Structure 1
Amino acid sequence: MVLPSLCQTAFAMLRHIEPILVLEQLGSTFFDTALQMVVRDRCANATYPDTHLSRESSQQKAMSDFYMTYNLIIQLTPILPSMVLARLSDRRGWRRAPIVVPLSGYLLSRLALLLVVLFGLPLEVMFGAAVLFGLSGGYCAFWPGVMTLASLGSTATERSKVLMKVELLYGMTGLVGSLVSGHLFLLYSSSLGHGTILLTVSTLLNLLAFIHSIVLLQVKQVPEPEQDSNILSHASSDVSVAAPARIDIVNVVLLFAAAMLYGSAVGGAIEILGVFVLKAPLSWSATQVGYGNAAGCMIFLTSFLGVIVFRRCVSDVLLILIGMMSFASGIYFMSFVTATYQFYLARSLNLFGLIPMPTIRSLLSQQVPASSCGTTLTALQLSLKFGGLAYIPAFTKIYQRTLDWFPGFVFLLSSILTVLGMIPISIIGCRSPQRRNYERIQGD
């Protein structure tokens, strides 16, 4: 009797979104490390005769130019497909569409890089792979789809914690994948070059995730008790879980503004960070790149623990401010990093840097009905995409212009943007106390 029961439990767990998330994130961390090292190797001999740059500066410029174009394609092309997938999810009830379709794009992009390494194809092939990835909806459709399934499977009072658990699983998987990826990249045989085994495993993992989403994934929706629709959860939110007719437009706009400012700060800094660690004086190897990515993934764990501890005594607004302050301080210190140990010290200050975005998503999801949850979260993701069209080239060009005299200037700029993002969140905190007190009296 025990064995059949365990089998049923295991099968039920396989039908949730978590196994797909693990497979996809493992494949993605392997791919990210491989792409970073392949780009470095291909750009090693880049020259810019007209600019009189040194060899290292030329390599940095070539790498940052590649990532600027690659990331702009990924930011731009998913906009329309992700909206279509979100509408299919909300209007027609095809909740799996924003999961299945993007996973096909993940699979094709991983396969493209594998072919680039195996057959020595030009690195520009990855621009075409980025187009295919974007047309499938990419991360812009996949992550809101994951968050929508997680939101529908939880009550409003527990949603912040549930979404943070998803972030935790995503981060811990990335941590394991990053620790392993650098070592797998160095594995090769006489007929295969560096990165082939790593990319083969990455492609297979994404193939498994794609098949799993088609065959096993199940959509489950938890009904929301009526009394939860007009009262606040205890010390967990400053914005009431209201019916759509009572949406506070000002708060929604402020949340979007804060998300865009913070997303731009984080996205711009992380984009340059991958190039920054490959130049002197750090000059990281593939193994060190994997460890550095693992340090970034560790922030998922510390942010989750921060949510568990802080949500008992502070509001969601304060949670967001704590996370933003954590990232601002860490990325400010990153501006002056000249040694590997300093890099890890700077990352340690980012302990709670991942708290703001899932908490902002939680506040937004509580203010819309289930039928519009996917569209709202996708609209937020699209806003971040549009922001990327501005901050990606801006951060890249600023980094190239300041490369010789202050390469960490972009991280200082990121810290300033984060502080600016704290302003709209603070306004929400100032607007909330009166309504919060009223709701508590009503509850008593």
Structure 2
Amino acid sequence: MDELDTAAILPDVASTDEETNGSRGHKEEADVPLPTTRFVRPPWRCCRPVSVEPVLFLSMFSMALQAPLATQYLWDRISEDLGYNGSERSECSNGSVPPDPLQMEVQTMTAHWNLYINLGGFSVGLLVVPLLGSWSDLAGRRPVLIIPNLGLALQALVYLAVMYLKLPVVYFLVGKLLSGLSGDFNAILAACFAYVADTSDRRSRTFRVAILEACLGLSGMLASIIGGQWQKAQGYINPFWLVVATSLASALYAYLFVRESVLPDPSAKLLTSRHHKAVWHLFSTGGSTSEAGGRFHRYKLWLYVLCFFIVMTVHMGCRDMYVLYVLSSPLCWGPALIGYGSAAQNLDYLSSLLGLKIMQRCLEDSWVAVAGLASNIIGLVVFSVADTTQLMFTGYGLCFLFMAVTPVLRSKLSKLVGPSEQGVLFACVACVQSLCYLVGSGLFSSIYPATLHFMKGFPFLLAAIILFIPAGIIGTLQCLDQRREHRDSTTC
């Protein structure tokens, strides 16, 4: 293959000399033949550069649309099977009226089925997602953008079959397992962030990652608005056909327009233990770039993952608490105010993106993350004492930087590993994020009823206290890095 063909199959991206010298192309053996252009060029050549933001937006829209609708369908089916005809009330319930035992049974069974479905998907994904992430470092990112979207469409089709044929709700678990075998949404998440790491330089990476985070928030907000109103008007069937359509549209976009960001190896195998060994090597040694930083490099990798785990656990746990908190006395919000609150919370994704871009002009990324944590802590403290609608919305406003933390952490982790390890890194981060949902939901759902008798907003106050841990770790690591840089410059 001549130089022109080789240049044509590589992505048009800006990268630093350090990243270029460490790319996979330089690591491959000289006797391995270069793949032909059919492995890396999409069949439709777009005249403008495109990236993976539309893929993540459509996939997140599909997930955010189907998740609450599936829970509501489970509630309705279980209510029908048990003969419960009551409806959920938007106003505060009368405390003098004892709870309906049948309603409590419906709530319990719905919660249990949600738990079984989430645990089933997480268990399968824990094995499959690292496999796909490591494989994408060899075979390319595009297959891991396409295959899980097809799995999400298959899951929605199984759900539709349950609705059309009135099948037992256990088939929801079957659909989730099928999606998990294809990687589910976590594999898409990992591939998108790895793609951005491939196609960005170290200086712009944090903002590019923040754009992907903003896509998650905006698509989630749009899906929440559309899904609830559509379900009330036409039921469950038509919204789930939209889930199928958006998942297939995301896969089609990735196939037609997204250019490959790594040089694929056609001989790369998917089903091999090498991919799981890559996960072990990454976290046991610190990755291929750990020799330059020594033991401190490996410690940074673990500490940033710990920070990410804490931040996402608090975020996921508190997200479930917001609705429960505002439904009961003294706030007594109805569906309209809950919708406005959700919109205000999702708008914080945009304000965080804008704030990150402005603060990067005068602050290091680590201090931007600390500022984001401070914004989140202050907002959570306000939530813990909020007894009026005005105070609740004040808390939403004070959290305007809360999503500036995770892009910085993802970017920091990406810069600690080599270009050939981005896929396995972000696959592991996606699994950690899925674990955070399970831990956060279980932890805060248990704390909330246990502390109602002395402080209703205690879970928010506890979350604010917990966030001091990642703030301290990130600030300390930044100070140590600055001290090392100062010592090295003085030595030179």
Query: Per the shorter chain, which TM-score range?
Result: 0.7 to 0.9
- Give the distance between the partners of 2:211 and 2:389, measured in 1 at CA: 30
Query: Offset of 1:257 from its aligned partner?
Result: 1.4
Residues 205-252 of structure 1: per-residue CA shift (max 9 Å, x gap):
112112332343322369xxxxxxxxxxxxxxxxxxx94422312222
- How has the CA–CA distance of structure 1 residues 301 and 65 changed in structure 2, closer, same or farther, with 3 Å as cutoff? same
Residue 321 of structure 1 is aligned with which of 365, 370, 385? Answer: 370
Partner of 2:350: 301
Partner of 1:216: 257
Residue 268 of structure 1 is aligned with which of 317, 327, 334? Answer: 317
- How has the CA–CA distance of structure 1 residues 199 and 384 changed in structure 2, closer, same or farther, with 3 Å as cutoff? closer
1:25-424 to structure 2, matched below 5 A, reads 25-39=60-74, 41=76, 45=84, 54-55=99-100, 61=108, 64-90=111-137, 92-188=138-234, 194-220=235-261, 243-247=289-293, 248-273=297-322, 282=332, 284-285=334-335, 290-337=339-386, 342-402=391-451, 408-424=457-473
2:365 touches 2:408 (CA, 8 Å); kept in 1? Answer: yes
Q: Which moved more, 1:299-308 or 1:206-215?
A: 206-215
- Give the distance between the partners of 1:120 and 1:332, measured in 2 at CA: 46
Query: Offset of 1:122 from its aligned partner?
Result: 4.5
Partner of 1:21: 56
SS in 1 for 2:399: coil
- Give the distance between the partners of 2:469 and 2:98, measured in 1 at CA: 35
- Give the distance between the partners of 1:107 and 1:291, measured in 2 at CA: 30
Query: Offset of 1:411 from its aligned partner?
Result: 2.9
Structure 2: 5+ residue runs without aligned partners?
A: 1-43, 87-96, 264-287
1:175 touches 1:295 (CA, 8 Å); kept in 2? Answer: no
SS in 1 for 2:141: coil
- Give the distance between the partners of 1:297 and 1:366, measured in 2 at CA: 28
TM-score w.r.t. structure 2 length? 0.72
- Give the distance between the partners of 1:115 and 1:339, measured in 2 at CA: 44
- Give the distance between the partners of 1:139 and 1:345, measured in 2 at CA: 33
SS in 1 for 2:403: coil
1:106 touches 1:133 (CA, 8 Å); kept in 2? Answer: yes
Give aligned-pair identity as a percent.
20
Query: Offset of 1:313 from its aligned partner?
Result: 1.1
- How has the CA–CA distance of structure 1 residues 127 and 291 changed in structure 2, closer, same or farther, with 3 Å as cutoff? farther
- How has the CA–CA distance of structure 1 residues 343 and 111 changed in structure 2, closer, same or farther, with 3 Å as cutoff? farther
Q: Which moved more, 1:113-122 or 1:211-220?
A: 113-122
Query: Offset of 1:439 from its aligned partner?
Result: 6.5
Query: Offset of 1:441 from its aligned partner?
Result: 7.1
Task: Name the aligned partner's letter for residue 54 of structure 1.
Answer: P
SS in 2 for 1:217: coil
Residues 269-321 of structure 1: per-residue CA shift (max 9 Å, x gap):
22344555566654643x66554443332121011011111111111111111
SS in 2 for 1:77: helix
- Give the distance between the partners of 2:456 and 2:73, measured in 1 at CA: 22
Partner of 1:229: none
Pairwise CA RMSD: 3.5
2:71 touches 2:114 (CA, 8 Å); kept in 1? Answer: no
Partner of 2:26: none
- How has the CA–CA distance of structure 1 residues 269 and 331 changed in structure 2, closer, same or farther, with 3 Å as cutoff? same
Task: Name the aligned partner's letter for residue 52 of structure 2.
Answer: I
SS in 1 for 2:204: helix
SS in 2 for 1:160: helix
Partner of 2:474: 425
- Give the distance between the partners of 1:62 and 1:274, measured in 2 at CA: 20
- Give the distance between the partners of 1:95 and 1:293, measured in 2 at CA: 33
SS in 1 for 2:467: helix
1:95 touches 1:149 (CA, 8 Å); kept in 2? Answer: yes
Query: Offset of 1:176 from its aligned partner?
Result: 3.1
2:190 touches 2:427 (CA, 8 Å); kept in 1? Answer: yes
Residues 72-131 of structure 1: per-residue CA shift (max 9 Å, x gap):
3333321110111012111x2322233222212322333344444444445444333332
Query: Offset of 1:366 from its aligned partner?
Result: 1.2
- Give the distance between the partners of 1:14 and 1:115, measured in 2 at CA: 39
- How has the CA–CA distance of structure 1 residues 18 and 117 changed in structure 2, closer, same or farther, with 3 Å as cutoff? same
1:171 touches 1:300 (CA, 8 Å); kept in 2? Answer: yes
Query: Offset of 1:361 from its aligned partner?
Result: 1.0
Structure 1: 5+ residue runs without aligned partners?
A: 1-8, 189-193, 223-241
Q: Which moved more, 1:428-437 or 1:367-376?
A: 428-437
1:27 touches 1:206 (CA, 8 Å); kept in 2? Answer: yes
- How has the CA–CA distance of structure 1 residues 428 and 337 changed in structure 2, closer, same or farther, with 3 Å as cutoff? same
- Give the distance between the partners of 1:67 and 1:289, measured in 2 at CA: 22
Q: How many residues are aligned here?
A: 406
Residues 396-428 of structure 1: per-residue CA shift (max 9 Å, x gap):
333344467655443333223222222221221
- Give the distance between the partners of 2:225 and 2:203, measured in 1 at CA: 35
Partner of 1:434: 483
Q: Which moved more, 1:249-258 or 1:131-140?
A: 131-140
- Give the distance between the partners of 1:400 and 1:71, measured in 2 at CA: 22
- Give the distance between the partners of 2:365 and 2:199, measured in 1 at CA: 20
Task: Name the aligned partner's letter for residue 195 of structure 2.
Answer: L
2:136 touches 2:423 (CA, 8 Å); kept in 1? Answer: yes
- How has the CA–CA distance of structure 1 residues 411 and 127 changed in structure 2, closer, same or farther, with 3 Å as cutoff? farther
SS in 1 for 2:203: helix
Query: Offset of 1:57 from its aligned partner?
Result: 6.3
Residues 302-347 of structure 1: per-residue CA shift (max 9 Å, x gap):
1101111111111111111111222223233333455655543332
